Amino acid sequence: MAGYGSFGFLEGNRNLYFVKPTANLEPTGIEPDVPRNLNLSSYPFDAEAIKRDFPILRERVNGRPLVWLDNAATTQKPQSVIDRLKYFYEHENSNVHRAAHELAARATDAYESAREKVRRFVNASSTREIIFVRGATEGINLIAQSWGRRNIQKDDEIVITWLEHHANIVPWQMLCSEKGAKLRVAPVDDSGQVLLDEYEKLLGPKTRLVSITQVSNALGVITPAEKMIEIAHRYGATVLLDGAQSVSHMRVDVQALDCDFFVFSGHKVFGPTGIGVVYGKPEVLEYMPPWQGGGNMIQDVTFEKTSYQEPPQRFEAGTGNIADAVGLSAAIDYLDRVGMYNISKHEHELLVKATSELACIPGLHIIGTAKEKAGVLSFVLDGFRTEEVGDYLNQNGIAVRSGHHCAQPILRRFGLESTVRASLALYNTNEDIDRLVAAIWNLRLGRTSIS
């Protein structure tokens, strides 16, 4: 297949090519006696062993073992995350920061420890740059309502790309409508990759913000984010990078990327739902007003005037999602233990295998064939509606997503209203891919189920 030569998300831009894995490349498994506090990126990797850490993957659906290939929608949770949430509610549950009793101290320590864990995870320079929100969508809206309302004026321009999730389109449309600003959209080529020359032509003295995804949720395309950020800064623009689909697949370094904002959701990275993160450069956050008012974000309140906390507390009004922040911390611990390099390499090998084997099915068309991709396969099958394919796979215990994936503009760029999306994670195995491919072959050939 043309367009699948390399995957630049691996550390050091190491390229892997479409080759059939040989025996000596197969992982042999993480040794059970390896200390759990070590980063295991240098240890062998066994997806079957990893899979056993996720209790929901022992479920059966329609009488068959569950194959979870809907990871771009949400990821499953390892037992360590489930246990950490249980422990918090059994031993630490309290509101944070304000009380003088023991449980408040435990909860505060756990919550702020989670903030430090996130700081290290994205390589921010300080915990003051880490804001807890409900998810990437709320994070983008926070930036739009706080930074955007202060900095976007009439006739200013905001630049996004065709690849964006609706959450990185709609808030900017709303802001542009309110302020009289203009939304401009960078095009993509027929593989789904951003056309850098055309992107740069959109930038100019009126460009105030560039807001782009690092990985397309609908196609899996990895954008040249570092280059796009560098170009945007040359024109004086502030840059938001949407990392909702990148953090589970690749190591993220916000300082190396040099983005002004970075957002992601905990549930996309094996943590709980209802927790997310906004990273912001301190010199940007310092001049942003709060977007919600209430407890926890104030220094002093009188009936005449209120003074606010410094970031990040300024943007965390009310009681935060304490338990789920702690759960996210446990998810990051789990990823550190497995090693992001191991995960990237494993997912890449699965993506190569799935791409090559699905491409052999008559009438199956992969949408998004850019050279740089993360673990997402979006496709259509001639003669079948996408919901038919999704339902057939579900009958065989295979969970995929059928629909527009909250990314209608990019699908319409390819003349489609929906695709079937199979998306990968660290616990997926060669057997999962074999079952997916066999099921689609059976559907193609008119069989009722996998033999």
59 close to 387: Cβ distance less than 8 angstroms: no
* 8-state DSSP, 188: B
Q: What distance in Å separates the CA atoms of residue 309 and residue 102, rounded to the nearest whole number?
A: 24
Question: Coil, strand, or helix at residue 202?
Answer: helix
What residues pair up with 402 in beta bridges, in sequence order? 420
Q: Is the peptide bond before 32 cis (omega within 30 degrees of 0)?
A: no
Catalytic residue among 176, 259, 360, 406: 406
348 close to 390: Cβ distance less than 8 angstroms: no
Q: What backbone phi and psi angles, to 5 degrees, belong to 208?
A: -100, -35
Q: What is the DSSP code string of 152-178?
A: --TT-EEEEETT--GGGTHHHHHHHHH
Q: What is the DSSP code string of 280-338?
A: E-HHHHTTPPPSS-STTSEEEE-SS-EEEPPTTGGG--SS--HHHHHHHHHHHHHHHHH
Question: Coil, strand, or helix at residue 129?
Answer: helix
Q: In the annotation, is 406 catalytic?
A: yes
Q: Compute the CA torsion angle 409, 412, 414, 415 (nearest 10 deg).
A: 180
Q: What distance in Å separates the CA atoms of residue 260 and residue 286, rounded to the nearest whole number?
A: 12
Q: What distance in Å separates the CA atoms of residue 117 and residue 125, rounded to the nearest whole number?
A: 12
Amino acid residing at 265: S
What tokens does 328 get?
Answer: 């996210």
Residues with Cβ within 8 Å of 136's Cβ and at least 6 positions away in sequence, in order, are: 167, 242, 243, 244, 263, 264, 265, 268, 276
Cα-based distances in Å from 48 to 413, 426, 441:
38, 10, 25
**Closest C-alpha among 393, 371, 384, 386 to residue 437:** 393
Task: Calculate Rg over the CA atoms of the chain.
Answer: 22
**Closest C-alpha among 246, 290, 291 to residue 7:** 246
Catalytic residues: 406
